[in-house]
Every structure is written in C-alpha cells, then in structure tokens.
Structure 1
C-alpha cells in the first residue's frame, strides 16, 4: 500500500494560473510534498496559456463543451481525456481512473447521457452535484443556496462506489459531514467522508489536505466515534431514469431512498428548530472511567487521588530506550472538560498534572526527549484527557509553525495565548515547557477533527503510517508489555507509590 498525501482545491473561476502558483507553493513548502492535486468543478478560464504544475493534477468537467478553449485544443471530443498542460490531466465527465500509485478515483458530471460509473469501491469520488440524501441524518448540514444542484445520479454513484472520500464544489460553503459506514461492505468497516469546498480563494475553506493509504484492503474494526447513520442505506435499487435526475429546487428534492419530499433547511418556517439528540456515555460505559468493568486495565500505569496516567490504544509513537513515549493524563471524575471538574477536584487535578509532568520530565529529559501535550475541550465531549507525546528535542524546531500552518490550511484560527481558556470549547497544544499555548476556539456545535493534533505530529515527525490510531492498535498482550515497561521505568519517580 502507498501512503499518499492529497491536496484538493475548490472550483476555479478565471484565475487558473494563480491557482497553479498556489498549489506549487504549498507543494514545495514544509506542508508538502503532495502526491497529487484534485481540482473540483468546471475549470473556468479565459487564459490562453496555462503554467506548469509541480505535481500531478487532475480535474473533470460536466461535459466536453464546457471545457475552456485552451483545453479543447489539447484533447479531442472523441477521447474526452488527456493532459491539457504540463502535469494537469483532464479525466473526462463520468468514469473511473487509477493514478500511478494505485489510488482509485471515480467522477460524475451529473448528466444521464454519460452513463453510470462502473460499480466497485473507490478511494475518492468527485462530483459536480450533491447527492440528494447527503444531508439526511446530519445535524451539522449547512443551509444550502437555492442554486445548489442535488442529483439522484450522484446518489447512485455513491452507492455504487462506496467512496472513502467524496468531494463536491459548493460556492460560499465549506461543509465536512460526519462520516458514515457501509456495514455490509467488502472489505468490511468501510467509511465515507463527504466534503464540500468553497470556490478557489473564496471566503470559506476552499482547499483540503489529507493522507490516504491507496489500495487499502482492510479497515480498522473500530469505526470513528462520530459516525452517523448512513443516508444511503436501503437504496440499492436503481432510480427510475424517466424521472428528473437533478433539481435545484430544494423543496422538491427526493432523497436517495425515496423518502417524502422535504426542504433541506431543517428549521422550517413556523416550526421550532429540531433539538439535537446527544448520545450520553455514562461512567459504567466510558473507556476512561475506572468504574467501567470493561476498562483496559493493562493500559493504566499510575493512579493518583484525582487523576491517573494511561497508555493510549494505537500509540502515535512507540518506544525510546524501551520506554513508551505516548501517554494520557486523565482526571478521575467523569466530566467532558477540565473546566467542568467539581470545585473540590480542580486544584487537586491541576497539582497532580504538574507533578506527573515534572516526574516524566525527569524520566525523559536525560534522553533528550521533550513533551508535546494537546487536548480538546468540548462541552459535548465524553471524558476530559490530555495527550502527551515525548519527541526528540531536535524535532521540536518548527513544530509551532507546523501547527499554525495546518490550522490555516484547514480554515481554523489558531492564536498564541499565555493561559488556557477558562471556559468555552477549544483545542490547545503546549510545546515543551514553554509558558504559552496555541489555541483554536471551537464554535458550539461546529465540527472539529478529533485527530487534528495527532495529524500534525504524524506529519511533522514523518510517521504518516501511524496517523490513524486504529491502524496502530495493539493486541492486549502488546499493551500489557508496553504498560509494564513504563511502570518499571517510572517507578522511582512515581509520587503515588
């Protein structure tokens, strides 16, 4: 399997060479290099010369007729495929394509005349329209403009290809839908993520970067924690082709499983907004609560009065001098954020955290390792915890800029603060022992990638194969071995003994 780094840009409107320059700049920066670039939607340009890309780039069009004239001179209507400028390839309107590294891409122009995509799983699906059912089972769906095209043909393409990533352009909107699973897929545990990007250089997020294993034949048994119901289940039947296959009238959109008509805006005139249903995790079923009879006790390495240390499942980093280097600090009370700790516990938890950090500093410091700690505090979270990763001191240089760049690339505002926010939802990272924090404030109810901190570290440390913790899951025997190694090394410094 090849681990590829993919860059996706929103639709371009008359500034193609500017887009190419931007792509080249990102590709050649510390964020790169990237394996390929995907450009969404129709390329609109009146330029008579197209500059060269420094990385392979691919795009599609609704039809050959909608190609810019400068491209029509490079490919024939009969072929409807080919390189139109150095490193930039036109894929066509509807079909499948495999890049050299084995990554499979399907694409759909939205027209019935182009036929169907050959069924079979793909890594990435590109479409010009939204599938009609995509907003179902989603509590974070944006309010879509009336001119957003919804296509039953694209819905069918999703069912036929069960893509791991599905991208579509949407002017003025960025939306990363929570993932959904295909329970009867082959291979099993296949998950789809749908992302809509604003037009290139738009006000909302217009580019997306991610890592993907091409030709992946097995997927982690544990699905993402934020899965929603699959909006396409029970839609294995082909839609009647005699019906209209596209609609720009949101009030007349049929879902892919032929539910009754309804508008996409879930807050209809005269009706109260639907209440969000939050899944409650009680202490007896929380993986971080010691009262849970199913807690993985082989991962617990030290217990204080109000908190404890544990090793994570699927650690980002492994052993250094035979000692685990990825640790979790967890308060004993079952609360979603550190700020919501009971008053009688707050000061004790903070003191124990300082003691643990000082003790681990004595353990790892002589080995030229320094801590990077990060946490997500959300009022709708499950159980507060801090992830602590000890990395080589010579690799911490430029890590601050790596976090700032990654935040900017994801359309997030990260600021330097002297203190952790006292309230609200936020992501925070602390580098080494510096008395400053990098903070991203998270709007209530908005999406935030729970793996953001891990992704930045994995990229910076060049261990992209360990980006997904599920792909790094250990057996109980391995977990027990790692736990014993840490306890043995930490015992002389453990203030709880």
Structure 2
C-alpha cells in the first residue's frame, strides 16, 4: 500500500486559508493518509480554525505555547474538531492504517522526554520536531535553528523522514538522504512558514525498501568528521549571526561603545556615517575615503513595507549624497549596495564613489563573481541578478518584502539597479557585494574591512571632510 503524506507549515494568522488549501490538495493529489502541521500552528491567544477537514490532520505545540481555547485531555491526542487532532506535550507515537509510524514531538524537548522516547520499541518512519539537529545546522552553518537534544532523538530512532522548521518563520531545506551503519537511511526536510518566501508544504509518497538502492546518498552529518575549512570554503559559507541586542550592536547609536566620531549626519529614522575599514581611500580626487554607510536608527534586521518611513529617509540620504557629488565631483558616480534579509544583525546600506570611466566594467565584474559563486560554491545561494533602470518599475517593487542583494548606481546616465532574490533556506557569501567592487576597482587586498582599518585620527579627518562636502545638502 502506498502511503501519501502532506506536511504544511501554516502561518497561524492564516490557518483557515491553509486548511482550505489542504482540502483542495487532498482532493486533487490525494487522498493523503495523514496531514501534519508543523511549527507554531495555534499558539497562545489564537482562535481555533473553523474549516472542516477532509483528512486526518495532526499538530503539536510549537515554541509559542498553545491556544487556551484547546481543552486539555488526559489522553495524548486531543480531538479539536472533526479530523483535527492536537498532540499534547511531550510527544505521541501514531500508527496509521498502512502501518506507517509517526513520532510527533510537542512543546519544548527535554532529557526526560528523550528517556521516554528511548523506550519506544516500534520503528519510526516519520519524525516531526520544531528545531533542527545541531549536526545538520552545523553542516548548513545556521546555528540558531538547532537543539542538541534533537540529535539524540534522531540518532536513537533513525527515522526515514525527519521534518522540522527551525525558527518561528521557518527555514526551507531539503537534504539528500544519508545512511546509518545498519543501512537504514534518513531524509531531512525543513519547511518555511506559509508566506515567508520559503517552501512551506511537502507532499510525498514514502519510499519503499526496494527503491532504496536508486537513491543518491550524502555523507551522514551525524557521523562525518569535522574537517578544517579551506580558505575557499570559508569564503563560500555564510554563518547566520547570533542574536545581538541593541546594547551590543555595532550599528546601534544606543550602544555605549558606538564610535560617534564616524557619524556625519543623524536624521529622524536613520543616520549617515563613514565606513570603518573603507574599501576606497582618500586621494587627489577626493579628500576623504568616500565609502559611507546609511543605517536605520531602529535595531532592525531588514526593511519591509512596514518600514516605509525609514526607507524614504534612506532614499533621501542617497539622493542628496549623490547631488553633492554631482555638484563638486561630477566625474564620480556612486554605487550603493545592501543585503536585505530577515536574519541580519542590523540593516545598513553602503556606498562608495567610482570614476565614470570604470562604470562600464561593473556588469562584467558582477556577472563574473556571480558565476564563480554559482558554479564553484554549490552550497551557496544561486545569484541571478535582474537589471532595472526605473526605481518605480512594478517588477522591482515586488522585491519590497523579499530578501535580496541590491546594487543601485547613480551616474550622469541616470539610475541603474541590479537585484537578486535571496531564499531563506540557502547560505551565501556575505562579502559578495564587496567582492564585486574589489574586482571592479582592482583592489583584491581590500576585501576584508578588518584589514583596512585606519587610525582614529584618519577616521575623524574623513568624517570632518565628508561633513564639509555634504553641508549644502544636509537635510537633517
């Protein structure tokens, strides 16, 4: 008997809509023997859904608690309504009609739960957890999605499929299967939350034992030796940053360690500063480095539609900075670049001046570095840049609520924008924008800002020179 399963990571604010989609999928591509909802399905303060389901649907407690509308029961499974079944903490083992066995963890995982799981005598086909195993998180260099206790569960039961979400918004990842020493195998899939941009649903047939030999396996993340990274592999891997509070954030003006001698101008929502470790340096054409940063005052990781006031002020900084160059250094263009993504520590937009004569080489440098990224570093985000020459282009505006890398060029020929979407399930090279500009300017030795730091007196001089340069367009 073929077992068909549907797994969804719903947005709790749109749960009824997601359940309606599940019914449609069950009619079109089912019937599914079971649907499993992962992540924070009905957290605290949320109402119960009203959609009548057409298939058995299970869910557990996420990391944001469970709705007080759910009436507790002495049993491990609670019928919320017809076909909607809540798995009480800490877990339940569910055997389907086909014989397929599921282990659904509910709520925070504890060592006491692991001791109980170790007593399970049946083989587990499907495992559902909130967090990733640390072994896989380290493989993908995403630290905050993991819990070491999940590793113990996976190593104990060796499920055929392991589903997780990692964070409240979810992170999509699908690994090739890996084998254990007894020839059992596990396939790991993490889902993004519906509406997050990452894949949030997964429908599949369980692999039959006779089909195992046809699979392509990767090295087991739980048993692989930790290899020392080469310089190239270090370049290719992006580590997601730890959570940093405003009092610790380098870009937050409330941090007592903020280097205020770098600040050029402070607006209502953002401020302008010279870059520490600038890519470009002062020269006969410009009395300061010209490499600057525009930074939101609010401690935010990325800018979306809800931050429209911040974006408008940043745009004003960009246009007035360029106007000051047009007036005083008309032979220089400006390139602004930013990485807008949900897990930045603190969003920022950097810029630097380049000669008009160098501008024609930009697209070649961008294409070359994107090609190297896509072909040499397979674990990296694949970068496919789109080009726009109108900031109000409807296609460009679709990127507003997405994660992206963006270059904006201001020159005598107008504005040119190059942008690529970033997916939340893939790592990428955080140095990519600076890598492109180092190639463009033939400054390979200035890739790392740490190696380009200047004495404090030089930083103060650059800041004062920038203030003089910008004073006629200062709007704050």
Q: TM-score, structure 1 length as denominator?
A: 0.46
Whichever of the two has the greater Rg, that structure is: 2
